[in-house]
Structure 1
């Protein structure tokens, strides 16, 4: 009488090996993609990062949006960006300021808050132009070129974000240099989180450029920057 064979664990072992291999391969691909994207961003921005004192003159400062508090006041990170733009304008290194941010909902208005902050500190209202559809860095750079006709600009953001912003703007047709803020480094946790997120953001930036996607909202050509520079 033949014995019944007990089920072995060969199938489970094979499944485990495949799962481990998939994780290893996926991790390797992700690492290579991230390293390549970060390297691309840094190479594109190399030689185009400056301080307020030594940045070349440009017609426009492009200030990228960030969190606005519930009371409509720019966060410390955003206020620091705006202060750099104010200094650039006061020093004659730019002649107009384009503030680009999220205004997806009527009760959340980054560009409006940015403009109020600047005007409250002595910037002439006619020198501040609002882009209400700068939903991310790619959209802001794309729209600066396509919608507002910006050919040359000084991009303003935090220093950990600046290489990606400059790289995207330059790739999208804006002759961009950048000035980065370091003053909010004192918010160590937020700074560390933002710096860490840049690795994934660089991958997205590379994908956006390769795909050539249109922004969430494009719209028609606007004359705001032309008017501000003419005034």
Structure 2
């Protein structure tokens, strides 16, 4: 009589109905999600570049507008602007002195982790000859979308120049135009920024563009919703 073994037969990896097939299916799904994610990121960046095409300028060629919107950024430990923000403010001051704009809307986080961005921006501009009554601050511009939405909804901006670095300008222009502002971007410099810092921020624009696309698709309200503010109207009337 032959021996009967209790050991289960070996499962082949490539036969029908064996565990290898579910594993392959999961792997295929994972790859599919990765591909879709990459395509979504690429599409988001393409959207900002396409929507802002023809609306990006250097400071010397910028068209006239009533107001320039300056986007906030982090401060130094002593409360002064870091190079990115200083470059934006220098460009905004140049636009004002040239008569390209008549007022400046400085928008950032008034309770930021590095300090009050709006107060620091105002001090920097007045120290460079921009009259205080031509500067309006929005301490609730918590991100690019919020800055654009609040500029339109709270301060009544219909036409503006947007001042930021060249890697940020496409997203800023796209979002501001989406919310109803006839916006053109003006690229500011960052002469003291290292190549590493510049590339890190360029790479950061990829997920930021994806978030921007989501905000625009949802037409989300800004984080802080405020009543109409006439401060900018008064600054422009002076």
TM-score strictly above 0.5 = yes
Residue 154 of structure 2 is matched in structure 1 by 147
Residue 51 of structure 1 is matched in structure 2 by 58
Residue 174 of structure 2 is matched in structure 1 by 167
- Cα distance in 2 for partners of 1:95, 1:69 equals 29
* 1:164-197 deviation line (CA, Å, top 9, x unaligned): 0001000110000010123347411111010001
The answer to whether structure 1 residue 109 and structure 2 residue 112 are counterparts is no
The answer to whether structure 1 residue 8 and structure 2 residue 11 are counterparts is yes
Residue 104 of structure 2 is matched in structure 1 by 97
Classify the secondary structure of the residue corresponding to 2:155. Answer: coil
- Cα distance in 2 for partners of 1:182, 1:45 equals 19
8 Å CA contact retained: 1:152, 1:176? yes
Normalization by structure 1: what TM-score?
Answer: 0.94
**Comparing 180-189 with 216-225, which one deviates more in the overlay?**
180-189
* Offset, 1:104: 3.1
Normalization by structure 2: what TM-score?
Answer: 0.91
For the aligned residue pairs, the C-alpha RMSD in angstroms reads 1.8
Residue 156 of structure 1 is matched in structure 2 by 163
Residue 33 of structure 1 is matched in structure 2 by 40
The answer to whether structure 1 residue 218 and structure 2 residue 194 are counterparts is no
Could you list the runs of 5+ residues in structure 2 that have no partner in the other structure? none
Could you list the runs of 5+ residues in structure 1 that have no partner in the other structure? none
* Offset, 1:105: 5.3
8 Å CA contact retained: 2:88, 2:189? no
8 Å CA contact retained: 1:184, 1:191? no
Aligned residue pairs total 231
8 Å CA contact retained: 2:75, 2:114? no
Structure 1's 112 and 209: CA in aligned 2 closer, same or farther, altered over 3 A? Answer: same
Greater C-alpha radius of gyration: 2
* 1:100-126 deviation line (CA, Å, top 9, x unaligned): 001235972101100000011111000
Structure 1's 107 and 136: CA in aligned 2 closer, same or farther, altered over 3 A? Answer: closer
8 Å CA contact retained: 1:185, 1:191? no
